[in-house]
Amino acid sequence: MSKLKSKILVVDDNAGIRSALKILLPMRFAEVELIASPKVLMETMRTFKPDVVLLDMNFETDINTGNEGLFWLSELKRDFPEVEVVLFTAYADIALAVEGMKRGAFDFVVKPWDNAKLLATLEEACMKHRKTAGKEPVVASAPIMRWGESEAMRQLRAMVEKVAPTDATVLITGENGTGKDVLANEIHRLSNRATKPMVGVDIGAITDTLFESELFGHVKGAFTDAHADHIGKFEQANGTTLFLDEIGNVPLAQQAKLLRVIQNRSITKVGDTKSIPINIRLICATNMDLATMVKDGRFREDLFYRINTVTLNLPPLRERPDEIVTLAEMFVKQYAEKYHRKAQGLSDEALNLLKRCRWSGNIRELQGCIEKAVIYSEAELIRAADLQLRASELMDETAPKPQNQTLESAEEQVIRNAMKTYNGNLTLVAKALKISRPTLYRRLKEYGI
């Protein structure tokens, strides 16, 4: 994965957080500087000259007022107005972070953070900074779409290749973790707008009070502490693709405003009367049943028809079994490099175990499983035991159908599966089934295993 030619400054007094970010951020950004105290912030700004500052909201100082982040945000926007600031906050301080966005912060990220969301937020902030500063555009490299060989994925690929070159509005549906954002990136990559980066928005992360400001922007003085103009996501995406993730989370009260903008292809910033035309290609995604939500009165029917000119359904991973091995091997290489581990691949037993897992969390669950296995493993090949999969997560096609099973027969089958999976290692079997060894001994004797 190529790096963005951008510089990130992290200001956080937690040594553990700085250590984690020291590993994570250089994987994506050209230069990263980390400081523990805002006392040296302004001096570092002048010497390091970052594109984006990731600023903690509170610091352990003698004058802790609970809103040091707001003070230092004001200092940064006063002396370095072109630099974007992303606030780093605990869940309890979200109200302060929202206030910070009103004062000019680009966005905020809640601790404990999700790596993908943190990187995406910082990338978007870098893009905005470089556009504002008139620097050369930098296109972020998107995750690669893994199509696989299943019939469903072949049909999906054929549809994408037809739809991508057009400007048709696309709705992507699918379970959590199936890779809807990756598919959106693939559509953008194959489109006529691929020369500019796609702009993504997690609708579920936007509060009601910030909905209009975040999507449509605001002008200086639009509300208290609106100290500068703010460019919304729709305007940021002018000339490229706008991806609205989790579109089903848009509050009913805000859906009419969103519909109007999509219909008219123009926005009016909060506090302004001027209409600004926008030229976007819209892609939306959801894990919800929008048709049912329409019937229940929770989603506007006219908005639903506006966003689903073309609907693409991304099948769950359990229906794309041919991809499991390819994805798992890719994740092994990725995390072995990230954590400097020996792992180079997976044993045959581990691969067979992966193929038998239900993967209710889809690709995201598989990725987390492999990440933990790489950390735990001390060998070049990941073993079945390193995956730490519970027997209840595994599928067995030879097991009787549920309607024909008694509780005892179901328990026996689960134990037999676990014994087979872990090659009779009773310690691992007991751990996987979350029972004691004496209990396992009794069950083995009872079922004649």
Question: At 430, which CATH number?
Answer: 1.10.10.60
CATH number at residue 73: 3.40.50.2300
Task: Let me know whether 306 and 164 are in one domain.
Answer: yes
> Which of 389, 405, 429 is the C-terminal boundary of a domain?
389
The predicted pLDDT at position 397 comes to 46
Number of domains in the chain: 4
Task: Let me know whether 283 and 238 are in one domain.
Answer: yes
Rounded Cα–Cα distance for residues 230 and 163 (Å): 33
Domain assignment present for 279: yes
CATH number at residue 164: 3.40.50.300
Nearest to 274 by CA among 219, 345, 313: 219
Task: Let me know whether 196 and 69 are in one domain.
Answer: no
Rounded Cα–Cα distance for residues 81 and 85 (Å): 10
The predicted pLDDT at position 284 comes to 97
The residue type of 381 is L
The predicted pLDDT at position 289 comes to 92
Domain assignment present for 138: no
Task: Let me know whether 28 and 63 are in one domain.
Answer: yes
Full domain range(s) for residue 401 = 397-449
Task: Let me know whether 428 and 332 are in one domain.
Answer: no
Task: Let me know whether 159 and 237 are in one domain.
Answer: yes
The predicted pLDDT at position 406 comes to 60
Whether residue 434 contacts residue 444, with contact meaning beta carbons closer than 8 Å, is answered with: no
Domain assignment present for 355: yes
Domain assignment present for 142: no
The residue type of 258 is L
Task: Let me know whether 175 and 287 are in one domain.
Answer: yes
Helix, strand and coil content of the chain, in percent to the nearest 5, comes to 50, 15, 35
> Which of 294, 315, 336 is the C-terminal boundary of a domain?
315
Domain assignment present for 40: yes
The predicted pLDDT at position 257 comes to 93
> Which of 285, 300, 315 is the C-terminal boundary of a domain?
315
The predicted pLDDT at position 2 comes to 53
Per-residue pLDDT tens listing for the chain (449 residues): 456 788 999 999 998 899 999 988 988 888 999 999 998 999 999 999 999 999 998 876 544 455 788 889 999 998 898 899 999 988 667 777 778 888 889 988 888 888 888 988 898 888 888 776 665 544 445 566 777 777 888 899 999 999 999 999 999 999 989 999 999 999 999 999 988 889 999 887 787 778 888 899 888 887 766 777 888 999 999 999 999 999 999 989 899 999 999 999 999 998 888 999 999 999 999 999 999 999 999 999 999 999 999 999 999 998 888 889 989 999 999 899 888 888 999 999 999 999 889 898 899 899 999 999 999 888 999 999 999 887 656 765 444 444 455 666 677 778 888 887 777 778 777 777 878 777 787 788 777 78
Q: Mind listing the pLDDT tens digit for each residue in 178-237?
A: 999 999 999 999 999 988 889 999 887 787 778 888 899 888 887 766 777 888 999 999
Using the structure block, give the residue that is written with the tokens 């549809």.
Answer: 159
Give me the helices (H) in 133-189, please.
Answer: 151-163, 180-189
Backbone angles phi, psi at 31, to 5 degrees: -140, 135
pTM over 0.85: no
Task: Let me know whether 127 and 14 are in one domain.
Answer: yes
CATH number at residue 339: 1.10.8.60
Task: Let me know whether 176 and 300 are in one domain.
Answer: yes
Nearest to 218 by CA among 199, 233, 205: 233
Q: Mind listing the pLDDT tens digit for each residue in 135-169?
A: 554 444 556 677 777 788 889 999 999 999 999 99
Task: Let me know whether 374 and 411 are in one domain.
Answer: no
Give me the helices (H) in 317-449, please.
Answer: 322-339, 348-356, 362-376, 384-387, 407-421, 426-433, 437-446
The predicted pLDDT at position 220 comes to 85
Domain assignment present for 324: yes
Task: Let me know whether 284 and 179 are in one domain.
Answer: yes
Run of H or E including 311? strand 310-313
Domain assignment present for 139: no
Contacts of 54 (CB under 8 A, 6+ apart): 8, 9, 10, 11, 12, 21, 86, 88, 109, 122
Domain assignment present for 137: no
Task: Let me know whether 344 and 268 are in one domain.
Answer: no
